[in-house]
Amino acid sequence: MFVPSQQARIWLRTEPTDMRKSYNGLSALVKNQLEQDPLSGHYFVFVNRRKTMMKVLYFESSGYCVWSKRLEQGQFQVRASPTGQRSLSWTDLQLLLEGIEVQKLRRFKRYRHAA
């Protein structure tokens, strides 16, 4: 399993993606559909129409990386968003990968050091 860096953001594309796409196709989606820079070091998550396969595209210092997961049973619980994308935390991504859906979310205030 990959572990994103602390300063990197994670973006989930909530619209279905053609999973035949690889580095070039996914980076083009990031530029054109998500309007983000694929070279930024952020993580971009894509899910297919049946919600049984997920790909994560990110750029490291030496090049693009694609991480993929296919479910044998069940689906990823991805909800549509009006903008077609949603920002995730590392915890949200872990819950999504493990198939855990939080019905009622209540976040308590925590200290965050200003960067």
The reply to whether 69 falls in a domain is yes
In this prediction the pTM is 0.83
Q: Count up the domains in the chain and report the number.
A: 1
With respect to residue 64, please indicate whether it lies within any of the assigned structural domains.
yes
Q: Domain span at residue 48? A: 10-98
Which of 27-62 are b and which e, b meaning 16 or more Cβ less than 10 Å from the residue's Cβ? bebbeeebebebeeebbbbbbbeeebbbbbbbbeee
Q: What is the pLDDT of residues 1-36, one digit of tens each?
A: 566 677 789 999 999 999 999 999 999 999 999 999
pLDDT tens by residue, 80-96: 888 889 999 888 888 88
5 within domain boundaries: no
Phi (first) and psi of residue 5, to 5 degrees: -70, 160
